[in-house]
């Protein structure tokens, strides 16, 4: 509907739409001219020019009334949206040029959100008070698509990118460790735990991570075929079950850091077989200054 010259919308046509919306709201050319601080003939010229551009009549005109035609009612909603979009764009570019209200949209896997990431984000915002951040917690298998579709600027995920359009930065490697309920004993004087006995006494809580459980479970069952398992999809629920004494699990070390320090979960060595190492990645579609700065900031922290 709007002509485009060298990729730019003609400002005159935006003023036509603004005049049209004002007349529609006030129902009067004179009142519209007063509200817009232009002459009444200018209002008439704008409306006629817009009607010519669209090829329809927008208003029914009488001696004492002006009302929208059916075509005018249909176009009014579109005109409001176009004007709103234009104003939003002006506000954003002016704010950006002045260094105000920068915005960053993040998608974070639940497992990553369960690390020191909240602390890291808090530190970054303290150093960048002008930045507006929104966070959406979503599973890793959905994060790549959210970045591709530009729903978020950065995705923090446990899975490598498949699409070559995306920039990928590995943030850290995370060893998987065996986690059991704390027995209340002193670590130096307590007798060593026998893994076989632990797996006999507790459920093995599985599939709280999207990457390693199928192969790990096959390996564990090769050593301990009679174990009892329970699938628990969420990491924070797995930790709660461990602390309550319901089960044990194999979790990324970064996700149990606080619970180990607070003496609520014990990390136990498993010499019988090698445990996997998982990685955390930052994905971006546009690796611009703000995205790069934030990823560099996160990369400087030790997550374990």
The better pLDDT of the pair 303, 104 is held by 104
Task: Examine the domain organization and report whether 162 and 293 are in the same domain.
Answer: yes
Q: Which two tokens stand for residue 102?
A: 């920068």
In a domain, 78, yes or no: yes
Residue-wise pLDDT for 177-234, tens only, equals 999 998 766 555 455 678 888 988 999 999 999 999 999 999 999 989 989 999 999 9
End-to-end CA distance of the chain: 57
Q: Find out whether 14 and 83 touch, Cβ atoms under 8 Å.
A: yes
pTM over the 0.75 mark: no
The per-residue pLDDT of the chain, averaged, comes to: 88
Q: Under DSSP, is residue 98 helix (H, G, I), strand (E, B) or coil?
A: helix
Helix residue ranges, H only, 170-265: 195-201, 213-223, 235-243, 257-261
Same domain, 251 and 136: no
Residues 125 and 53 in one domain: no
- pLDDT tens track for 116-133: 999 999 999 999 988 888
- Name the domain count of the chain: 3
Q: What is the dihedral of CA 235, 238, 243, 246, to 10 degrees?
A: 180
How far is 180 from 239, CA to CA, in rounded Å?
9
Question: Is residue 255 in some structural domain?
Answer: yes
Which pLDDT score, from 0 to 100, does residue 132 have? 83
Q: What pLDDT digit, counting tens, does each position of 91-117 carry? A: 777 766 655 557 899 999 999 998 999
Residues 183, 185: Cα–Cα separation, whole Å: 5
Cβ neighbours, 10 Å, residue 215:
10
Contact 146, 136 (CB under 8 A): yes
Is-contact 203 229, C-beta < 8 A?
yes
Residue 304 lies in a domain: no
Residue 54's domain is classified under what CATH number? 1.10.10.10
Q: Which domain holds residue 109?
A: 102-172+279-299
User: What CATH number has the domain bearing residue 162?
Assistant: 3.40.190.10
């Amino acid at each position: 509907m709007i002509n485009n010259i060298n990729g730019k919308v003609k400002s005159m046509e935006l003023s036509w739409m603004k005049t049209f919306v004002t007349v529609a709201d006030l129902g009067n050319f004179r009142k519209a001219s007063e509200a817009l601080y232009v002459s009444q003939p200018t209002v008439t010229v704008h409306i006629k020019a817009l009607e010519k551009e669209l090829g329809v009549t927008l208003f029914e005109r009488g001696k004492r009334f002006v009302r929208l035609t059916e075509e005018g009612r249909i176009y009014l909603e579109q005109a409001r949206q176009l004007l709103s979009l234009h104003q939003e764009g002006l506000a954003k570019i002016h704010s950006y040029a002045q260094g105000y209200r920068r915005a960053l949209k993040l998608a974070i896997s639940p497992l990553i959100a369960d690390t020191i990431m909240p602390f890291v984000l808090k530190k970054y915002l303290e150093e960048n008070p002008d930045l507006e951040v929104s966070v959406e917690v979503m599973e890793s298998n959905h994060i790549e698509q959210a970045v591709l579709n530009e729903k978020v600027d950065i995705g923090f995920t446990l899975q490598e990118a498949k699409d070559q359009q995306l920039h990928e930065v590995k943030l850290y490697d995370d060893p998987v460790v065996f986690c059991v309920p704390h027995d209340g004993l002193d670590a130096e004087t307590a007798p060593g735990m026998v893994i076989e006995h632990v797996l006999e006494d507790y459920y093995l809580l599985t599939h709280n991570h999207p990457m390693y459980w199928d192969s790990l479970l096959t390996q564990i069952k090769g050593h301990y075929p009679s174990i009892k398992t329970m699938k628990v999809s969420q990491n924070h629920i797995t930790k709660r079950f461990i602390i309550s004494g319901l089960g044990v699990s194999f979790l990324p070390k970064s996700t149990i850091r606080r619970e180990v320090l607070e003496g609520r979960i014990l990390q136990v060595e498993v010499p019988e077989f090698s445990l996997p190492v998982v990685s955390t990645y930052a994905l971006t579609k546009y690796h611009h200054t703000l995205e790069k700065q934030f990823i560099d900031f996160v990369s400087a922290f030790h997550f374990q």
